[in-house]
């Protein structure tokens, strides 16, 4: 019997190295919108925006992993193991660097962390976070950040399940479990949003609308590195944005003046004191040493020219002669 194209691809993957698997996974992710992408294109992610997804799909995103991302992956397995032990659920870990597409809708895909072995075979996603903010509910509820909710929903669509769990470790000492159930209306909404966004920004190659993110500023800086002699007409829309920018600049100036006034008042009240407990501190950093190496070098040359032998003791003396103490700066900080 003749092998299908999918079987041929899967067989070829068996001989790839781990790095080759990763690169193939990254390439496949660029062909669809993933569970982590969906909240970004909707402007609901804390970690990325529409421009990040656009540049990624166009293979123009150069965004290396940070430590939070690295340790999130490193702690993923122990968090899932703790989830299985704590809640008595047998799980199987997903194969690394694997993307599954939503059946009948290849434009949406997800990579799983683990799944239940028995029962409804629901996906289980692991998260490692520093603290439990106000957007996290009690363990056992479905109250957790919307970007993670959308990620889990796409995982349910891709795995054809009706529920998903989120295993979260807060601050390295508190494990919580959140459960989300699938909403058919949200299935339709996400498919429609994904299709419309892909058609406009990837197929038609129209960049997402500007926003206030650092990523968009970096994109504009790179795309329009040099100016030409062209000019643009002063449209009503451009004038409106210029007015908004002018008003924002004035507001920033006013806020900065209030900030400086408040800081100066507190510094005046502190005087030589180092702190107002629970409110602020105004302490000196550690003193540092500054050596004028150029002057020391010429001093050594002069002594050699005059016939003096540069011993270890004299060498240390010369450095000492040209080293001064730089008092540590006094730094003001509000208490958290």
pLDDT in tens, 42-62: 999 989 999 999 999 999 877
The predicted model scores a pTM of 0.77
Query: How far lies 273's CA from each of 266, 280, 282, in Å?
Result: 11, 11, 8
Res 64: pLDDT: 66
Taking residues 61-66, report their average pLDDT. Answer: 69
* Lowest-pLDDT range of 194-198, 277-281, 315-319: 315-319
Q: At what angle do helices 184-197 and 146-159 cross, to 10 degrees?
A: 100
Distance of alpha carbon 182 from alpha carbon 191, whole angstroms:
14
3-state secondary structure (DSSP) of residue 128:
strand
* Angle made by CA atoms 82, 85, 90, in degrees to the nearest 5: 110
- Quick check: 64 and 180 in contact, CB under 8 A? no
Residue 3 pLDDT > 80: no
User: Which CATH number among 3.90.320.10, 3.10.200.10, 3.30.460.10, 2.40.50.100 corresponds to the domain 31-203?
Assistant: 3.90.320.10
Taking residues 141-159, report their average pLDDT. Answer: 97
Distance of alpha carbon 24 from alpha carbon 138, whole angstroms:
38
Distance of alpha carbon 99 from alpha carbon 202, whole angstroms:
20
Residue 4 pLDDT > 60: no
93 or 66, which is more confident? 93
Question: Average model confidence (pLDDT) for the chain?
Answer: 91
Residue 13 pLDDT > 60: no
């Amino acid at each position: 019997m003749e092998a299908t194209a999918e079987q041929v691809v899967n067989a070829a993957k068996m001989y790839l190295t781990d790095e080759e698997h990763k690169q193939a996974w990254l390439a496949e992710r660029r062909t669809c919108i993933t569970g982590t992408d969906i909240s970004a294109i909707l402007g609901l992610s804390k970690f990325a925006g529409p421009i990040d997804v656009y540049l990624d799909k166009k293979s123009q995103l150069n965004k290396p992993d940070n430590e939070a991302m690295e340790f999130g992956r490193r702690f993923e397995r122990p968090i899932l193991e703790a989830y299985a032990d704590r809640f008595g659920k047998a799980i199987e870990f997903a194969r690394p660097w694997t993307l599954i597409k939503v059946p009948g809708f290849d434009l949406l895909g997800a990579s799983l962390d683990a799944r239940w072995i028995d029962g409804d075979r629901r996906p289980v996603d692991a998260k490692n976070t520093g603290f439990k903010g106000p957007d996290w509910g009690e363990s056992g509820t479905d109250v957790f950040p919307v970007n993670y909710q959308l990620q889990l929903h796409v995982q349910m669509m891709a795995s054809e399940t009706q529920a998903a769990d989120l295993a979260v470790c807060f601050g390295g000492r508190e494990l919580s479990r959140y459960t989300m159930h699938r909403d058919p209306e949200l299935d339709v909404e996400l498919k429609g949003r994904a299709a419309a966004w892909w058609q406009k920004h990837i197929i038609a190659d129209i960049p997402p609308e500007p926003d206030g993110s650092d990523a968009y500023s970096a994109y504009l800086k790179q795309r329009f590195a040099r100016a030409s002699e062209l000019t643009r007409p002063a449209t009503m829309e451009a004038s409106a944005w210029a007015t908004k920018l002018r008003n924002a600049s004035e507001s920033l100036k006013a806020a900065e003046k209030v900030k400086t006034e408040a800081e100066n008042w507190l510094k005046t009240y502190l005087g030589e004191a180092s702190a107002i407990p629970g409110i602020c501190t105004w302490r000196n950093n550690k003193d540092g040493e500054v050596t004028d190496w150029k002057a020391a070098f010429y001093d050594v040359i002069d002594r050699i020219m005059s016939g003096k032998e540069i011993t270890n003791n004299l060498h240390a003396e010369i450095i000492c002669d040209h080293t001064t103490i730089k008092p540590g700066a006094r730094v003001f900080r509000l208490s958290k």
